[in-house]
Amino acid sequence: MPTVAKGDGMRGLAVFISDIRNCKSKEAEQKRINKELANIRSKFKGDKTLDGYNKKKYVCKLLFIFLLGHDIDFGHMEAVNLLSSNKYTEKQIGYLFISVLVNTDSALIRLIIQAIKNDLEARHPVHICLALQCIANIGSKEMAEALTKEIPKLIVSGETIDAVKQSACLCLLRLFRTSPETVPPGEWTQRVGHLLNDQHLGVVTSATSLIHTLAQKTPEDFKPCVQLAISRLSRIVTSSYTDLQDYTYYFVPAPWLSVKLLRLLQVYPPPEDPALRGRLNECLETILNKAQEPPKSKKVQHSNAKNAVLFEAINLIIHHDTEPSLLVRACNQLGQFLQHRETNLRYLALESMCLLASSEFSHEAVKKHMDTVITALKTERDVSVRQRAVDLLYGMCDKSNAEEIVAEMLSYLETADYSIREEMVLKVAILAEKYPVDYTWYVDTILNLIRIAGDYVSDEVWYRVIQIVINRDDVQGYAAKVVFEALQAPACHENMVKVGGYILGEFGNLIAGDQRSSPMVQFQLLHSKYHLCSAPTRGLLLSTYIKFINLFPEIKGQLQDVLRNNNNLQNADAELQQRAIEYLQLSTVASQDVLATVLEEMPPFPERESSILAKLKKKKPNVSDIEVVKEGKKSSNPPTLNNSAANTPEATPASAPVPVMAAAPAPAPVQSASDDLLGLSAGPAAAAPVTNNFAAPAAPAGGGGLLVDVFDTPPAQNNVSTALAPQAEENFFKFAIKNNGVLFENELLQIGVKAEYKGNLGRLGLFYGNKTSYPFQFFTPTVSCPGELASAMNVQTKPLDVNTVEGGAQVQQIINVECIADFVDAPILSIKFSYSGSMQQINLMLPVMLNKFFEPVEMDATSFFNRWKQLSSPGQEEQKIFKASFPINSDTSRTKLLGFGFGLLDGVDPNPDNFVGAGIIKAQSSQVGCLLRLEPNMQAQMYRLTLRTSSKSVTTRLADLLLKLF
């Protein structure tokens, strides 16, 4: 045992650390650190060459300062120098510094690669190990290119010592991860598999990690490993703890290796060979049996290690999902853990059980534990455990227990942690829709949701209840009654007003017979909330009022008074003003018959996947582990909900979506006014009647527009190809720096664009030129905003005056765009026409990108740097280092940046070759300031681009666009 002196002889280091620890304040500490940094800098810059010992000392100090939370921007060179030292300790410090404070400076990397090469070639195993460890930790593409060849040889050579093999495995894994193409499969791949048989368990451990990653990429190449892994696992689990002495941890033989082997097996389906399968099942049974044996030690380390293996075995059982007996045993085992005194075990048991709930073999077994899980939801003191309980309840829910589970979740929601409320609301809404006891229960549940957690009820949830009520006439009267009652509460959530307003507008007549809810009472009740509501809700209520005028002609006068009220007729909100004027006019000029047609009841919504489910998936990309883990592990099985729905098809009237849309588009609402009455078209902005014009041909049902936004998949009615035209993308990006030009051209058609932008508004003139001598008939260009774009951009298209473009003629179309929020995708311009009898379709991206709403900003160096510094939180900066796609030329770059919209600030950057710029993205909802720095490197033909803005999404989008230009 070497004596470990404090500071190990490095007195200077010890003194420095003591100084820091004695600092009474943050300022004092900062001062001491600055002093030390200055000292080290001067030492490094000084004429006197430092000896290895001193270099080591200073590098250690820098490391310490780094840990205190300071960025270190020098010392790398000295560390690199240490690499070539012959002293092991100095070399080690050099590698350590580089591994911890990675610096991708290319000049340095070359030196590091050289040093690594030297060490790899040296005969000294400890040096080889250091070099390999360094690659394993920081390996980059350049390293991969320079060093990959040697590594596989090291792994499979019989002469290599074990420690080197271990490092080499991890090193190759790193290189494979950074640039798979530099690690070509070869003869070595087979031999790597055989490392699973190696005597030395350390080598097996490293090899398993490597094989696991490689096998995920090309499972076929590593299939023989399944057998090797099973036999290795079998030898470990059946060994007694004395057999594997060195690798036994608290009486558990090689727990980490067992876990890794079980993970590796999860890359593959259950083995087909019955003997092999039997052997694996034996292993799994042994592991399950061991869990029942009395513990060999009372220490938590023992039980943790044992249970780590157990949980991984259960994961494998769930992954295979073929052995009912094992699945049920696993479930029972987890059931025991649910009541264990260790919080960790309860947490993990809930998590694993969630996966089990989706297997048809164990779903019933999981349901037996419902009461325990409900108790956990109520009594667990740790929110992360409660969250797991919610997930599990959601996972185990089916028709038989939905009522109880939903009730429990609702009652928990009243006291639930804020962090999980929104997700819980979505889950309750989905369950209520999926497993409705009956539709009155469904309506009650959703209204309860709004009452209890109105703030967390997203639009999708209340849209959905309306869709369902509209589609099911047996529940409409009941819904009208309960919303009417709910609205009588002294304080009711705005979402309740929206649902109430909509439903009464459609079905208020069903309850109007009762004196307590006569038309006048309904109207007064709604109108008493009017002034407390935001503009979009008011808009919706105005639509309700016009619907009332049709339903209840007896109160027309009072309703018209409201519409005529100056607050509405002269409202600053253009949408409200327009609705008031149009509705008033409609009610005045139209006869009762016309009114009845225009304002008739909404047609049923097309049924399809619940929009709420899509929202939940979107909200949690790693959806509460359930869906995703499972989908990832087992792509053959559909996610939980669909799965259980498939088991009980008769159970789910609402969720058995008849693909009406796919077959024939639902009839479009007859009148554009009722289109608007929906008030459901995404946001307030998109709800304007005018905007709906363009959407009409694309989205047949009024509600379709909304649903399209919410779904990830394109609308089902679109049976024509949505693929973009060949040159679409390339031409599109050319418009990033210009406003006028040719967007598309083929032998038939040429489309030119002239655009102008100001603030958040833009106007595009599209010129469609017929290049042939025959007419294009039924020429219909439409513009649509796919996905999230609909809420980020408002597009108004003027329809063409003509629908025939004569041979050689040109027609013009004007499109107005308004940027509401930042966006990524472009609107899709889809042109259909008939040319000599055949239908043509061309899809293009409308050249509207985020930087079009960019306004340049001038500022001096000081304010630039101030702002630059302010924008230093995570997500605000994006840096890209990339190879120039075009020759680097200062003048061209300047033109491009100006064209892009930046104001260029000269003289801010000391290097005249660099560009510094500033600008503001003007969206209606927010204005985002952007700062840019572009550093060309002529020699390397590379650029470094740094962008800082206050919005992560803006930063990313602008960086992506700029990347395409240089």
Beta carbon nearer to another protein, 419 or 885: 419
- Smallest separation (angstroms) from another protein to the CB of 353: 15
> Of residues 741, 875, 889, 892, which one binds another protein by CB under 8 A?
875
Least Cα distance to 668 among 714, 703, 710 occurs for: 703
Is 8 a binder of another protein (CB under 8 A)?
yes
- Range 681-720, binding another protein (CB under 8 A): none
Helix, strand, coil % over all residues of the chain, rounded to 5: 60, 10, 30
58 is in an annotated binding site: yes
Which residue in the set 46, 69, 274, 837 belongs to the binding site for another protein (CB under 8 A)? 69
Of the two residues 87 and 771, which places its CB atom closer to another protein in the complex? 87
Closest approach, Cβ 154 to another protein, in A, equals: 15
CB of 342 to another protein, least distance (A): 8
CB 90 within 8 A of CB 54: no
Least Å distance, CB 11 to another protein, is 11
Helix (H) or strand (E) run with residue 766 in it: strand 761-770
Q: Is 75 in the site for another protein (CB under 8 A)?
A: no
Cα 789 from Cα 712, distance rounded (Å): 12
Sign of CA dihedral 633, 639, 644, 647: negative
Write the Ramachandran bin of 85: left for phi over 0, alpha for psi from -120 to 50, otherwise beta: beta
Could you say which residues in the range 218-257 bind another protein, by CB under 8 A? 246-247, 249, 254-257
Residue 411 sits at φ, ψ, to 5 deg, of: -75, -30
# residues contacting another protein (CB under 8 A): 82
Consecutive H or E run containing 239:
none
The residue with tokens 């070359």 is 110
Longest Cα–Cα distance in the chain: 102
Nearer to another protein, 183 or 259 (CB): 259
Taking the complex as a whole, the smallest distance from the CB of residue 518 to another protein amounts, in Å, to 53
End-to-end CA distance of the chain: 60
One of 209, 488, 637, 937 touching another protein (CB under 8 A): 209
Under the binding rule (CB under 8 A), the answer on residue 77 touching another protein is: no
Residue among 23 and 961 whose Cβ is closer to another protein: 23
Stretch that binds another protein, among 160-168, 433-441, 474-482, 849-857 (CB under 8 A): 160-168
- As a whole number of angstroms, the distance between CA 965 and CA 389 comes to 50
Residue with the two structure tokens 């030690």:
297
- Residue 282 sits in the site that holds another protein (CB under 8 A): no
> Is 43 part of any known ligand binding site?
yes
Site for another protein in 375-394 (CB under 8 A): 381-382, 384-385, 387
Which positions from 88 through 107 interact with another protein, judged by CB under 8 A?
A: 88-89, 92-93, 96, 99-100, 102
* Three-point CA angle 49, 55, 56, nearest 5°: 160
Compare residues 53 and 74 and give the one whose CB is closer to another protein: 53
Return the residue of 119, 312, 433, 575 that touches another protein, per CB under 8 A.
312
CA atoms within 13 A on the CB side of 760: 18
Q: Distance between CA 256 and CA 248 in Å, rounded?
A: 10
Tokens of 841: 């379709």
Q: Is 57 among the annotated ligand-binding positions?
A: yes
Q: Does 344 participate in binding another protein (rule CB under 8 A)?
A: yes
Enumerate the H helices of 218-322 as residue ranges.
224-238, 255-265, 274-292, 300-320
Taking the complex as a whole, the smallest distance from the CB of residue 370 to another protein amounts, in Å, to 21
Q: Which is nearer to another protein, 304 or 796 (CB)?
A: 304
Query: In this complex, which beta carbon is closest to another protein, that of residue 313 or of residue 452?
Result: 313
What distance in Å separates the CA atoms of residue 238 and residue 551, rounded to the nearest whole number? 78
Beta-bridge mates of residue 756? 763
φ and ψ of 217, to 5 deg: -80, -50
When asked if residue 425 is in the footprint of another protein (CB under 8 A), the reply is no
Between 86 and 780, name the residue whose CB sits nearer to another protein: 86
Is 53 annotated as contributing to ligand binding? Answer: yes
Shortest Å, Cβ 351 to another protein? 9
User: Is residue 61 part of an annotated ligand binding site?
Assistant: yes
Question: What are the φ/ψ torsions at residue 400 (nearest 5 degrees)?
Answer: -70, -30
Return the residue of 76, 174, 369, 434 that touches another protein, per CB under 8 A. Answer: 174
Query: Is residue 467 within the footprint of another protein (CB under 8 A)?
Result: no
Contact flag: residue 421 with another protein (CB under 8 A) = no
User: Which of 191, 188, 147, 192 minimizes the C-alpha distance to 171?
Assistant: 147
Can you say which residues are annotated as belonging to the binding site? 11-12, 43, 53, 57-61
